[in-house]
Amino acid sequence: MKTTKGNALRSVVGPALLAALILGVTGCGSPKAFKVSEACGTEFDPELIGRLIPKGDSLKSDDTFSEPKQFRCEFAVDGQDRVGLRGDVVEPFVKPLEVKESVMLRLGNPASADIGDGATIADHGGMALKACTYNGEKMQYVLSIDGVQDPKGIEERRRILEDFLRSQLPVAMKAEGCRP
Average pLDDT, the chain: 84
Regarding beta strands 137-146 and 125-134, do their DSSP bridges make them parallel or antiparallel, or are they unpaired? antiparallel
19: confidence class by pLDDT, cuts 50, 70, 90: very low
Sequence spans of domains, the chain: 1-30, 34-179
CA geometry: angle 113, 121, 129, nearest 5 deg: 65
Q: What pLDDT does residue 29 have?
A: 54
Q: What pLDDT does residue 4 have?
A: 46
58-72 per-position pLDDT tens digit = 999 998 888 888 989
Spatial distance between the Cα atoms of 88 and 140, rounded to a whole number of angstroms:
8
Cα–Cα distances in Å, from 26 out to 21, 33, 36, 101, 167?
Answer: 9, 16, 25, 43, 36
Q: pTM of this prediction?
A: 0.80
H-helix segments, the chain = 2-26, 46-52, 96-99, 101-107, 154-176
